[in-house]
């Protein structure tokens, strides 16, 4: 079993767009205006592959041989760390263990289509950095090169001999003893179990399983927490609200239906034949009349969390909704 590394660089005469982008972002952060970066991306491929096989995969599958060149060697080989120019510092960036690697999964399937079996595949990026003080390297890694929420940066050679494949899964039925917990223990279970339910919600679950005369499984508890989450059930938007001002108090049993929804329906009734709404509050997207022949479908997506922790993935949740719901 060999762990091969395939590094992919732009060919001579081809622009290093990734390297230029990193240098520009570093300059924008005030790290170094003289920073020089040479970038590469690549794959770690583990399996019983000969050098001939891995070089064929690198040439015909993993890289575009017209505009890219490859360096192929067993992981840890000195040839993978040779300085491309002058005094450069090598930095590797990889996804953290447990993070999905869709590109690697696609590569592994494509390798299988070549009639070659790879036991495991992971992607990596590597950067040769020049003209940067050593004290600023950690800042470059955390602010520019890697997203700390899902990626790890390794300064220097990549000391890895094999890819961890994890252990075989063995099913275990886990029950959560909830029936006799005190209120503070219910809140601790909600917090430490990442259920994020209120005390009243935890008490409701507790009461239900007392009536069933058994404790819930972990899967049942997490399923309830997911179903009752703000994301899935819109507890605030559709919840019970008591509103107080100088004119007194008003209560809503379902804030959405009794405010925006009710007002929309009343306006549509008043418009009669002039109503330009085609579909409102029927599904995850709305349809309004644009002219005599065309309608417009649109969606305002509120779910873009956790953008602060994982900017691209978090924002992509919102983007996905804006695209998916009108099409659906």
193 in a structural domain: yes
Q: Which residues contact 46 (CB under 8 A, 6 or more apart)?
A: 1, 2, 3, 4, 118, 119, 120, 121, 162, 163
Residues 6 and 145 in one domain: yes
59 in a structural domain: yes
State the pLDDT at residue 97.
87
Side-chain half-sphere exposure of 309, counting CA atoms within 13 A: 5
Which of 172, 203, 233 lies at the terminal end of a domain, its last residue? 233
List Cα–Cα distances, 162 to 4, 42, 308, in angstroms. Answer: 9, 16, 33
63 in a structural domain: yes
Return the exposure string of 196-234: e unless at least 16 CB atoms fall within 10 Å of the residue's CB, then b.
ebeeebbeebbeebeeeeebbeeeebeebbeebeeeeee
Residues 113 and 204 in one domain: no
Return the exposure string of 250-273: e unless at least 16 CB atoms fall within 10 Å of the residue's CB, then b.
eeeeebbeeeeeeeeeeeeeeeee
Full residue range of the structural domain in which residue 189 is found? 183-233
Of 165, 158, 153, whose CA–CA distance to 74 is shortest? 158
pLDDT digit string, tens, across residues 209-243? 999 999 999 999 999 999 999 878 888 888 889 98
Structural domain total, the chain: 3
Of 52, 74, 71, 73, whose CA–CA distance to 63 is shortest? 71
Task: Please tell me the distance from the alpha carbon of residue 212 to that of residue 322, in angstroms, as a whole number.
Answer: 42
Output the domain CATH number for residue 24.
3.30.1280.10
List Cα–Cα distances, 311 to 25, 76, 82, 188, 316, in angstroms. Answer: 16, 32, 34, 29, 8
Residues 195 and 151 in one domain: no
Strand partners, 40: 126
Q: What stretch of H or E contains 260?
A: none
| SS3 of residue 94 by DSSP | strand
Given a cut of 70, the residues of the chain with pLDDT beneath it are 84-86, 166, 302-310
Cβ contact 153:141 at 8 Å: yes
271 in a structural domain: no
229 in a structural domain: yes
State the pLDDT at residue 308.
63
């Amino acid at each position: 079993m060999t762990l091969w590394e395939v590094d992919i660089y732009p060919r001579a005469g081809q622009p290093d767009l990734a390297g230029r982008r990193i240098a520009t972002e570093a300059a924008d952060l005030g790290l170094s205006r003289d920073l020089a970066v040479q970038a590469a991306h690549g794959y770690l491929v583990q399996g019983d592959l000969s050098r001939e096989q891995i070089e064929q995969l690198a040439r015909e599958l993993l890289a575009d041989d017209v505009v890219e060149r490859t360096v192929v060697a067993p992981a840890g080989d000195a040839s993978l760390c040779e300085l491309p120019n002058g005094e450069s510092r090598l930095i590797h960036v990889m996804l953290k263990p447990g993070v999905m690697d869709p590109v690697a999964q696609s590569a592994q399937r494509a390798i299988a289509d070549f009639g070659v079996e790879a036991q495991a595949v992971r992607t990596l990026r590597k950067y040769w950095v020049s003209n940067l003080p050593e004290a600023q390297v950690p800042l470059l890694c955390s602010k520019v090169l890697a997203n700390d929420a899902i990626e790890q940066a390794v300064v220097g050679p990549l000391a890895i001999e094999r890819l961890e494949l994890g252990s075989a899964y063995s099913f275990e039925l886990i029950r959560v003893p909830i029936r006799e917990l005190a209120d503070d223990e219910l809140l601790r279970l909600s917090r430490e179990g990442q259920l994020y339910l209120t005390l009243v919600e935890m008490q409701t679950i507790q009461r239900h399983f007392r009536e069933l005369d058994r404790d819930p499984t972990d899967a049942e508890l997490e399923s309830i927490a997911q179903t009752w989450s703000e994301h899935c059930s819109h507890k605030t938007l559709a919840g019970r609200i008591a509103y107080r001002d100088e004119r007194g108090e008003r209560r809503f049993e379902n804030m959405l239906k009794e405010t925006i929804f009710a007002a929309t329906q009343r306006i549509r009734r008043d418009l009669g034949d002039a109503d330009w709404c085609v579909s409102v509050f029927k599904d995850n997207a709305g349809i309004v009349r644009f002219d005599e022949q065309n309608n417009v479908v649109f969606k305002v997506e509120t779910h873009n969390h956790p953008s602060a922790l994982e900017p691209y993935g978090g924002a992509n949740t919102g983007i996905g909704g804006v695209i998916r719901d009108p099409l659906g």
